[in-house]
Amino acid sequence: MCKISDSKKPGVLKSQGSVALSFKFDETSFAFVHIHLAQGDGLPDKRVNSTKTLIDEAFLKSPGHSVATDHNYLFVMGDFNFRIDMGIDALKSAITQNQIDLLLKSD
């Protein structure tokens, strides 16, 4: 069985939405969520929260697994439109040291 869901959520960001697909192979369930978020708003916290909301609401209208995280495997991909404004060496260092707050401040 294959279920497809889509969402266009105006309001939080200028233009955002998602397309979701789930299916079961033998006894294993898979979910794929593709997200597109607006760029250039300079609000990384809002973008992170919008991503979480789109994942949480991806399968609310579908029978069976009503939450994406209920699946055995969840794949999230898309264009999240984060822009990191820092040099490559500083970027690599921040990633290596798991300095997520620094990366978000540079968006």
Assess whether pLDDT exceeds 90 at residue 96: yes
What pLDDT is recorded for position 11?
Answer: 46
Q: Which residue has the tokens 């040099």?
A: 87
pLDDT digits (tens, 9 = 90+) for 1-35: 444 455 555 444 455 688 888 888 999 989 899 98
pLDDT digits (tens, 9 = 90+) for 29-66: 898 999 888 776 667 778 888 888 888 888 777 666 57
Q: Which domain holds residue 22?
A: 2-105
* Full strand arrangement of the beta sheet holding 28-36: 2-8, 17-25, 28-36, 73-79
Number of folded domains that form the chain: 1
Q: DSSP state, 69?
A: G
How many beta carbons lie within 10 A of that of residue 33, not counting itself? 24
- Alpha-carbon Rg of the chain, whole angstroms? 16
